A and B are shown apart, each in its own frame.
Chain A
C-alpha cells in the first residue's frame, strides 16, 4: 500500500466540513442514546451498553463516499497517475485508507461506550463481548469500504452516493413487488410447482446475495457461541471484498483521464 495516498485521503477529509459534522454526529448519537437509556431505566446499569457493529458501516460510508470519484471530478487523479504508480496499488491504498479510518473511528466509539459501562459497573471489565463486537466492526468497515471503492470508481463526483441509494432502493422494490410477481407469473404460465419453487429459490438466492453485498460481515459473536456459519461467512466476505476491488481496478484502468476535453 502506498502510504502517501492513504495519508492524503485522510487529510482530504479534514477540509470537508460536511463529513466532519456527520462524523461528530455519528460518534455522539449512540452515546447520547445510551445516556438517555441509563437515565430513564435503572436496571440497565448492569448491561454492557455497546452499540451494534452496524455503525462501522456508517462510518465507512462517511469516509468513503466519493474517494475516487471526487478526485476524478477535480482532475487531481491525472497527476497522481502520472507518477510511477499502478492503478491497482492506487485502488488498494484507497481501500485501506477508508477501511482503516472507519475501523479506527468505530473502535474508538466502542472503547468509549465500554469505558462508560465499566465505570458505572466495574464487574463488566471481565466481559469480553466487546472484543467480538470490535472485531466485527473492523471486518465490516473494510467490507463496506471495498463496496464504496467499487461504486466510487464508476462515476465522477458524489454520484456514487446516488448510485448506492438507487441500488438499495431498487433491491427493496424488487424484493417487495417484483418477487411476488415473478413467483406467480411462472405458476400461472403452467410451469407447475417445480417452476414456482425454482423461482422462489432463485429470488431467495438473489436476495441473499444482495444482502451479503451490502452488509459483508463475519458474525464473530455468533461464531463464538458455536454457530456453523464461519466457513460460509468468511467465503462471502472474501468474495465481496475481492470482487469489488477487482471490478474497481478493472473499470478504473479502462477509463481515460483527459485534460481539456470537457
Chain B
C-alpha cells in the first residue's frame, strides 16, 4: 500500500523553489539591465509613466522665442534610466504648481540623453552648441537655466553670473519669499573644486531636491537670478558725470577711479564678488578714491554704443579694467588682467600699475 507521492520530513517545497527561481531570474535581469545600460525596462515602462503637461519646445524654437519674450530657457537634462530624471519627470514636474510656474515663466526644452559621452551630435541636429552652453561634465540629470541675454554665452559665463549676494539683501524687491537660507534644501551641481563661498563657481543646475517647496524655490530663484542687475558690491559709486572733470591733482580732492566691468562674463563676475564685496578693499576705495562704475553689455552690443569710446580712450580690450584717472604725472594708469584684492590695494596706494601686461595705446 505504498503511496505514490512522498510526504515525508524531507519533502521539498516546490512552490518556494519556483518562486525563488523566478524572482532570482527577474532580479538578475533588472540588475543587468540597469548596470549594463540596456534600459529595456525603461523603454517598456515609458507608455505607463506620467508625462508632465509642460509645453516643451524644440531648441531652435525656444531660442528665438526667448529673444522675443525675454524669458529664460529651462533645459531639462534627463539621462535615460536615471533615478532623479524619473523623479523629476513623473513626480516633480507633474505637480500643478510646478508646471504652471514653468509654463508661465520659462521656456522649457527637453534634453533626453541616451548615449554617453554627451556631444552635440549625439543629442541631435538642433543641439548644436549645446555643450558649449551647458556644462555636461557632471553627468547628472537636472534642470538648467539659461537667461535670454546669455543665449550665446559659454557655460562658464552663464554659471558665474552672480547676483547671489543681491538676493539675500534687504531690498524688498529682491527678497526671496521662501526664506534666505538659500541653497540649503536643494542641491545644485557642484564644480569639481571646493565650493566657493562667494558662489562664483555655482552653476545653475538642480540635481536633487527634497520636496515640492524646494523645487519651487529653485525655480523662483532661477527666474530672478539673471533678471536682477549684477551686484555692485559694497563700494559707494559716484555718478558718472565726474568723468567730465578735468584731470588734476589736488591735495584735498580724492583721485577718480574708473571701473570698466562687463555685466556678464566670468572675469567680471569674479571681480565683483571677490573685490567689490571685500570690506577692506571697499573701505580703501571709498576713503581714498572716487569710484565710478561703467558697465558694458558684451551680449547686447546695441546698449554699448555710448560708452565704447571709453575703452578706446584708455586702450582697454578685455574687461574688467580699473583706471586711475588723477595720477601725479597726469597720465591715467590702467590695470588689466588679473585684478584681485591685493593688487588693487597696491595699485591704489602707489598709483602705479604693478602688473602692467597690455601694450600702450
Contacts and interface: CB of A to CB of B under 8 A. Distances in A.
Interface stretch (A105-113, A156-164, A200-208): A200-208
Given A201-B35, A204-B35, A242 B19 contact: yes
Nearest to B88: A226
Given A205-B32, A208-B35, A239-B26, A228 B13 contact: no
Contacts of A209: 28, 31
B38 to A, nearest CB: 10
B11 A86 contact: yes
B86 interface: yes
A249 interface: yes
Interface stretch (A16-24, A137-145, A177-185, A229-237): A229-237
B16 interface: yes
A246 B13 contact: yes
Contact of A242 (B16, B90, B92): B16
A169 interface: no
Interface in B1-34: 8-13, 16-17, 19-20, 23-24, 26-28, 30-32, 34
A250 interface: yes
A235 B23 contact: yes
A225 interface: yes
Nearest to B89: A228
A51 interface: no
Interface string A76-109: 0000010011111000000000000000000000
A243 interface: yes
B9 A87 contact: yes
Contact of A232 (B30, B36, B210): B30
B83 A227 contact: yes
A6 interface: no
Chain A binding surface, main DSSP class: helix
A204 B33 CA distance: 12
Contacts, number: 79
A205 B10 CA distance: 35
A219 to B, nearest CB: 11
B16 A86 contact: no
Residue of A227, A238, A242 with highest tally of chain B CB at under 10 A: A242
B27 A228 contact: no
B211 interface: yes
B87 A88 contact: no
B23 A243 contact: yes
A231 B284 CA distance: 63
A246 B16 CA distance: 7
B166 interface: no
A129 B358 CA distance: 62
Nearest to B49: A228
A245 interface: yes
A228 B84 CA distance: 9
Residue of B12, B13, B19 with highest tally of chain A CB at under 10 A: B13
B24 A205 contact: no
A227 B35 CA distance: 18
A92 to B, nearest CB: 8
A227 B20 CA distance: 26
A253 interface: yes
B12 A205 contact: no
A226 B92 CA distance: 9
Nearest to A253: B10
Nearest to A245: B16
Contacts of A88: 11-13, 16
B24 A239 contact: yes
Residue of B28, B30, B31, B210 with highest tally of chain A CB at under 10 A: B31
Interface string B28-48: 101110111100000000000
B35 to A, nearest CB: 4
Contacts of B24: 239, 242-243
B91 interface: yes
Nearest to B38: A201
Contacts of B9: 81, 84-87, 253
Nearest to B23: A239
A243 B91 contact: no
Contact of A205 (B8, B23, B35, B83): B35
Given A225-B211, A242-B20, 14 more contacts: A81-B9, A86-B9, A86-B10, A87-B10, A88-B11, A201-B35, A208-B31, A212-B27, A225-B210, A226-B91, A235-B23, A236-B27, A250-B17, A253-B12
**Nearest 3 CB-CB pairs, A to B?**
A226-B91, A242-B20, A239-B27
16 contacts: A86-B8, A87-B11, A201-B35, A205-B36, A225-B210, A225-B211, A226-B92, A227-B83, A239-B27, A242-B16, A242-B19, A243-B24, A249-B12, A250-B12, A253-B10, A253-B12
Interface of B: 8-13, 16-17, 19-20, 23-24, 26-28, 30-32, 34-37, 83, 86-87, 90-92, 210-211
